[in-house]
Amino acid sequence: MYQFCRFRFDPENHSLESEGNPIALTPKAFEILLVLVQNGSRLTTKEELMRKVWPDSFVEEANLTVNISALRRHLGETPNGQQYIETVPKKGYRFAVPVSQLSANNHAANLPLVVAEPPHLASVLHTDPLAGSLPISGSARQGRSWFRSAFMMLGLIAIVVLAALGYRAYRNKSNPRQLAQVPRRLAVLPFQNLQENVNTDFLGFSLADAIITKLGYVSELTVRPSYAVQKYRSQAIDIPKVAADLNVDTLLIGTFLREGDDLRIACQLVDIKTENLLWKGAFDLKYDKLLTVQDQVAQQIIRGLELTLSASETGRLKSDETVSPLAYEYYLRGVDLYSKGDFPLAIKMLEKSTQLAQHFALAWAHLGRSYTANASFQIGGAEQYHKAEAAFAKALSLQPDEIDARIYLANMYTDTGRVEKAVPLLREALKTNPNHAEIHWELGYAYRFAGMLSESVAECERARQLDPGVKLNSSTPNGYLYLGRYDQFLESLPKTEDSALIDFYRGLGEYYKKNSERAKANFDHAYELDRTQLQAEVGRALSLGIQHQNSVAIGILHALEAKINEHGVVDPEAMYKIAQAYASIGDKASALRVLRHSIENGFFPYPYFATDPLLDSLRSQGEFSKLMEAARQRHEAFKTKFF
């Protein structure tokens, strides 16, 4: 027998208890724990575990991952907050706490027997719960008779309940649409590269993205978007924790290995609640058949989840086999680079893809998105916006119902001050995809520009109900900020440490609350992370203003404004941040000039303007009243048209 922290582990009797409470483990999880405990602090390789636990069969490595995750969930954490099973990246596992051996003779009587599989209902009903060798008194016999009768009654009730549940399950199986009322929530994690090869690492994220895109049209399934899973591209996966973080009930995990022209991809579809494998499979193919992977995996997921597709959904799952292998590889590389924030190189890859496959709608959609991001975040200029619009038009001409193209185009319309064109596009998309979180988020973004602040918050909250992590690494729920609900705004921001945009907005929230030191720390951190980002430069100016270095701050804002004018960057909400910074530092003339630019280019949330304390220094200016009236008129016109 073994003891570690609060646990006692008895291999002979197949039992594990924690402070007297039995813990039921599946047979394989029990065997894995035995190997780890016996090895103690010594590294246990994945190969050793696979060999000892599955000695006579070939199974995928994901089977081991599933069982390790289940063990971690059962064991919890040590008193000092560490996990009992430590992952050694790309090697194996190590038991992280000291293990003591105990004498089985001295302690076995204190350990209850725990079986891995539950007993059959019939055996439970025919078991005498009071059977034993102790003498029974008359009153005890009477109590025993009463208990047996009550127990049998409970057994009959259980049979009736099970029969009802069985009938319900039968009806649901015969009518899949009844099950579809609560769609499965699926996350497709980036595939893990089994070989340390930087030249093929791009496949991990981009293949997952391709599958996510493919499944985005299935109404009986809610799939987490690519940006929600990209953080798992290079870390050990704790399945229960990942599922909880992403709020999903199903995970697809996989690995890949490329050797020359040969590619092997292995996948497993895991039901989180039951810890069952719904499907597992491996694909051995030539590298030039990479395009077929997304279709095969998507079809297997649909079968594993027993989903029912409409005719249009079935049609959307068919692959475009006319896309050349090289064009598809450029596309995958572009998707991967975009996820890493390298927009210029992503553009080059996607341009090559569209040159080789001019009818490839998805490549055009992602090219447009990359142009837009480069124009907005990296001050790429008006030319980039024009190229983005042309790319989106091409994508929609090839595939009018392409979801990604619609979302990305609507986002660009809002960014460039054409919110009245964005709203119909998004509302139309919601008719066929009502549970698509990103569409709701973009609609909330558009409403914010027009000053429909409560409606904006409602759409963003709906998006977060569908997907708790929606857009929160690249956007923020500013509706709360504009409504003056600063604490709620700060609470809604993701707890990330590597986003200049999020740190800027965290600083802005603290700035509104007059927490100058916290605001300064966040502004400075955003600037350290990315000095090229427009918002980070605005934050730098506000930080200098907090330190009363107003002339230096104004110089930064003048240089930023000149760069924007030179490149023709439009983003009117970002321009408004520059106006706020000017007003806060005391340059009223510049603040009014940039505020006019912002309103004329499509940022007109009049209710926010009317209450924004950062504009208080401008309210006595005659020019300010004229600008407010222009914003009010456009806001009222939008409200009348769409509400």
Give the pLDDT of residue 636. Answer: 97
Give the pLDDT of residue 377. Answer: 66
Domain 2-110, classified CATH 1.10.10.10, yes or no: yes
- Lookup: tokens for 194: 């089994």
- Lookup: tokens for 466: 């569908």
| Model confidence at 133: pLDDT above 80 | no
Q: What is the mean pLDDT of the segment spanning 405-421?
A: 92
Greater confidence (222 vs 444) lies with: 444
pLDDT interval class at 227 (50, 70, 90): confident
| Model confidence at 554: pLDDT above 70 | yes
Give the pLDDT of residue 575. Answer: 92
617-631 pLDDT tens trace: 999 999 999 999 999
Taken as a whole, the chain contains a residue count of: 643
pLDDT interval class at 472 (50, 70, 90): low
Give the pLDDT of residue 140. Answer: 38
| Model confidence at 106: pLDDT above 80 | no
> What is the spatial distance between Cα 569 and Cα 564, in angstroms, rounded to a whole number?
5
- Lookup: tokens for 242: 């990942």
Of the ranges 320-324, 408-412, 531-535, which is most confident?
408-412
Greater confidence (544 vs 22) lies with: 544
Give the pLDDT of residue 379. Answer: 61
Least confident of 341-355, 375-389, 587-601: 375-389
Q: What is the mean pLDDT of the segment spanning 26-39?
A: 88
Give the pLDDT of residue 155. Answer: 52
| Model confidence at 214: pLDDT above 70 | yes
H/E stretch holding 32 reads: helix 27-39
Least confident of 256-270, 280-294, 558-572: 558-572
295-333 pLDDT tens trace: 888 888 888 888 887 777 787 777 666 789 999 999 999
> What is the spatial distance between Cα 75 and Cα 363, in angstroms, rounded to a whole number?
46
Q: What are the φ and ψ backbone dihedral angles of 270, each rounded to 5 degrees?
A: -115, 130
Place of tokens 């003779």: 105
Within 358-486, strands assigned E span none
Least confident of 80-94, 338-352, 385-399, 447-461: 80-94
Give the pLDDT of residue 135. Answer: 33
| Model confidence at 548: pLDDT above 90 | yes
Strand partners, 252: 188, 269
Q: What are the φ and ψ backbone dihedral angles of 8, each rounded to 5 degrees?
A: -120, 135
**Helices 516-529 and 534-546: angle between axes, nearest 10 degrees:** 140
Give the pLDDT of residue 177. Answer: 38
H/E stretch holding 256 reads: strand 250-259
DSSP string for 486-535? HHHHHHHS---SS-HHHHHHHHHHHHHTT-HHHHHHHHHHHHHH-TTSHH
Of the ranges 364-378, 426-440, 493-507, 512-526, which is most confident?
512-526
* Average pLDDT across the chain, whole number: 83
- Lookup: tokens for 247: 């709020």
Place of tokens 């709701």: 440
Give the pLDDT of residue 130. Answer: 30
pLDDT interval class at 182 (50, 70, 90): low
Strand partners, 3: 8, 100
Q: Which fold has domain 184-319?
A: Rossmann fold (3.40.50)
> What is the spatial distance between Cα 291 and Cα 166, in angstroms, rounded to a whole number?
41
DSSP H stretches of helix in 216-342: 226-229, 239-246, 291-304, 311-316, 325-339
Domain residue spans of the chain: 2-110, 119-126+148-170, 184-319
Identify whether the C-beta of residue 338 lies closer than 8 Å to the C-beta of residue 351.
no
DSSP H stretches of helix in 110-198: 121-125, 138-174, 176-179
Compute the Cα dihedral for 91, 96, 98, 102 and give only its sign.
negative
What's the pTM value of the predicted model, to 2 decimals?
Answer: 0.65
Of the ranges 73-87, 147-161, 479-493, which is most confident?
479-493
Greater confidence (34 vs 66) lies with: 34
Identify whether the C-beta of residue 426 lies closer than 8 Å to the C-beta of residue 442.
yes
| Model confidence at 110: pLDDT above 50 | no
| Model confidence at 161: pLDDT above 70 | no
Q: What is the mean pLDDT of the segment spanning 187-198?
A: 88
Greater confidence (15 vs 326) lies with: 326
pLDDT interval class at 422 (50, 70, 90): very high
Greater confidence (79 vs 544) lies with: 544
